[in-house]
Structure 1
């Protein structure tokens, strides 16, 4: 099961479960996560959604093997929902979303934080937006969401530098709400999720709607700009060299 699902007291916990690949998103995981988000949104018994990862990573981002296949394989088959479908599901999610970042978060494993209502990070977790090191553009409307969430300069550093940001730095920036010891992370996220889940679900949804609705058009516009830039850069010289270097490391 690529996404493990657990329900308790109105809280649905979705756990990315591809630990052998550090929970990197391939087409199958994008599809499974999208379906899980849509089902949680539609289920009247679910008040709050918690998203976390199995193993030492939250998510290592896009599966670079599949990224290379997308460039080189004319028969590459996209998933039913894929990356765009998951972003649309995150944008449309009506229930509060809590992230429990248990380990490294790279690419979409970092930019997905822009869709969370509350972010809990393990003290040992780290985040990276590796777009410039991969020779590509931002993704997931991060060029809009991150400046809005953490300010232009913090966002510029994350999106331009491809450097790691630790949990305490993420907390200082406002990218994380609470930093927890690794063994306490899920319990703390769940404790807060259950506080929210004890409230009226229609009221929770109304609050989230009033917070998120003003941003939905901007998210869609930013994603469209990013897709256009990504399409230009994907397979370009810098991207091809970065993917070839990754493939060489993987084969060693």
Structure 2
């Protein structure tokens, strides 16, 4: 497939999605939404892809929603439809059964911060900046930020970030737990690729199930969590990767997982 607002490349087991609308700081335009809606299912359906990197070109990772697309605003029904139809891809991103690394190269505000939060791991450039800036235009957080932000930083800190709508640096994102690691700008993609490569060598199917269990853990009672774990483990006991892991353990060597 060809894409207008992003670059998509696959190298070995790693897929890289790079937003490339530098003229609008990689804002979430209709073109980018359309491309994300197509590329994420493509990644899901390709068994050769075992890890994903999402990044941006130029000064921004993603500068949030496109105010030009909103224009003069919407009526209630039209606004609800615009948001519901324009954010379906977020569920696809958050539930991809493969590890997703956000390589935040620059500005990640509004929906850009939401996208980073929906990924599994965030590595940030020292020059990256973040912000839940929706309040600056009289809106609430969207693109699943109200789901992910409190889970990452806690409810009180999430409220402060949303109410203040302030921009904060990569060092604070690290302290808040939004970023796992902050690295020099020139090292960002090397760090992201190294992490994605390490993830890609793991048992992809098991990692996908583990991701789903962890994502639902906040909404699960203890009994539910135990039952979900048991069901997943019963399935994984039958896999080639589990058998390989057991063999490697007994043979005292690193396992060679195939992702199945």
TM above 0.5, yes or no, is yes
Specify the alignment match of 1:40 in structure 2.
43
Distance in 2, matches of 1:85 and 1:143, equals 15
> Is the partner of 1:71 in helix, strand or coil?
coil
Specify the alignment match of 1:22 in structure 2.
25
> Is the partner of 1:4 in helix, strand or coil?
strand
CA contact (8 A) 2:104 2:116 kept: no
Q: CA RMSD in A?
A: 2.4
Return the match for 2:136 from 133, 138, 141.
133
Specify the alignment match of 2:12 in structure 1.
9
Q: How big is the shift at 1:70?
A: 4.5
Deviations 1:18-65 (A, max 9, x none): 111100011111110121111111111011111000111001111111
Q: Which runs of 5+ in 2 are unaligned?
A: 221-260
Count of residues in Structure 1 that have an aligned counterpart in Structure 2: 215
- TM-score normalised by length of structure 1: 0.79
- TM-score normalised by length of structure 2: 0.76
Q: Does 1:66 align with 2:69?
A: yes
Q: Does 1:196 align with 2:199?
A: yes
- What does residue range 1-252 of structure 1 map to in structure 2 within 5 Å? 1-71=4-74, 82-214=85-217
How has the CA–CA distance of structure 1 residues 216 and 114 changed in structure 2, closer, same or farther, with 3 Å as cutoff?
A: farther
> Is the partner of 1:138 in helix, strand or coil?
coil
How has the CA–CA distance of structure 1 residues 138 and 178 changed in structure 2, closer, same or farther, with 3 Å as cutoff?
A: same
Instruction: Kindly indicate whether structure 1 or structure 2 has the higher relative contact order, using CA contacts under 8 Å at least 6 residues apart.
Output: 1
Distance in 1, matches of 2:216 and 2:160, equals 27
CA contact (8 A) 2:107 2:128 kept: yes
Q: Which runs of 5+ in 1 are unaligned?
A: 218-252
Distance in 1, matches of 2:219 and 2:200, equals 24
Q: How big is the shift at 1:131?
A: 1.4
CA contact (8 A) 1:47 1:95 kept: yes
Distance in 1, matches of 2:121 and 2:215, equals 13
CA contact (8 A) 2:135 2:163 kept: yes
Deviations 1:62-90 (A, max 9, x none): 11111125539xx99x88x9532222212
CA contact (8 A) 2:19 2:57 kept: yes
Larger Rg: 2
How has the CA–CA distance of structure 1 residues 208 and 26 changed in structure 2, closer, same or farther, with 3 Å as cutoff?
A: same
> Is the partner of 1:119 in helix, strand or coil?
strand
Q: How big is the shift at 1:156?
A: 1.3
